[in-house]
Amino acid sequence: MRPIALTMGEPAGIGAEIAAGAWAALRGTGPAFFLLDDATRPFAAPVRAIAAPEEAAAAFPEALPVLHRPLPRPPVPGRPDTGNAPAVIAAITEAVALCKAGRAAGVVTNPIQKATLTAAGFRHPGHTEYLGEIAGTGTPPVMMLACPGLRVVPVTVHEALARAIARLTPELIAGTARITARALREEFGIARPRLAVAGLNPHAGEAGTMGREEIDIVAPAVAMLRAEGIEARGPLPPDTMFTAHARPTYDAAICLYHDQALIPIKTLDMAGGVNVTLGLSIVRTSPDHGTALDIAGTGRADPSSLIAAIRLAAELARARGFA
């Protein structure tokens, strides 16, 4: 199997630490991966600088393979530096290019510090939007967060809540759900995906007494999906659709805004959750957490989510024939 490309993420964050932890956990079993980063940085693992992704598999059992990409400035744990922002972005761009060229099976992105990249001139709200530009398929990329027992997909992602609500339309909800259903079939092996679509207002609007978005926006989207043969139901009250009793009744929850999706999955499994970008020409996953600047350099970072992201990237690559 081709190796997975892991990007450096924010150099002042926990990326290097969890990369070392993931290598220690996977070195004996795989899947093999290589890190695009500065090989001269201190790592809590033996490192082997490689010149090409094709060298990663042979190096992996003995050392963390690093495709050496020097950082302009030495990173200081917990203190992001805009001077390193171009290298962070370049690592993402190169990882995608390696996948497109068939030299890597998929991309796993370490967390970035969005404010630092924005201050350096990066014009995208986050990974998802940038990946949609450089690895898109003509449809907007869709963010899925997955852990054992729950998959959630936010219809709107990195934008202010008031703007997110104003953008909601039946077409936007249905379009997100279509991409989700296709990915569940083609990449997750679910022959007939079941989608649960969340409402927006308390109690899913209480028949219009607490808002009409469910009647005017969400219900028409669900009707469109059903007419196309997609098994969808809703709008469902968001305060009950994530209970232990409700979760087994669907394969993915379609949520209307960022926190409606991310709060339940991070509450259930902060360590093991994985971010998957659907609708790309490549496989991309990432840990379901941020840069953790407050603990960077302390040795306390948990690599569990990164390990899960690497394993899932390999599974999805096999399903798509990229392995």
Q: Is 266 known as a binding-site position? A: yes
Q: What are phi and psi of 300, to 5 degrees?
A: -100, 0
Report the C-alpha gap between 188 and 318 in whole angstroms.
11
User: What residue spans of 51-159 are helical by DSSP H?
Assistant: 56-59, 85-100, 114-119, 127-135
Report the C-alpha gap between 299 and 222 in whole angstroms.
47
DSSP letter at 199?
Answer: -
Q: Is 128 known as a binding-site position? A: yes
Phi-psi region of 24 (alpha: psi -120 to 50; beta: other; left: phi over 0): alpha
Report the C-alpha gap between 294 and 14 in whole angstroms.
9
Q: Is 127 known as a binding-site position? A: yes
DSSP letter at 111?
Answer: P
Report the C-alpha gap between 273 and 249 in whole angstroms.
20
Q: Is 68 known as a binding-site position? A: no
Who's near 229: CB < 8 A, 6+ residues apart?
none
Q: Is 158 known as a binding-site position? A: yes
Q: Is 249 known as a binding-site position? A: no
Report the C-alpha gap between 272 and 308 in whole angstroms.
6
Which residue positions form the known binding site for substrate? 127-128, 266, 275, 284
Which residue positions form the known binding site for a divalent metal cation? 158, 203, 258
Which residue positions form the known binding site? 127-128, 158, 203, 258, 266, 275, 284
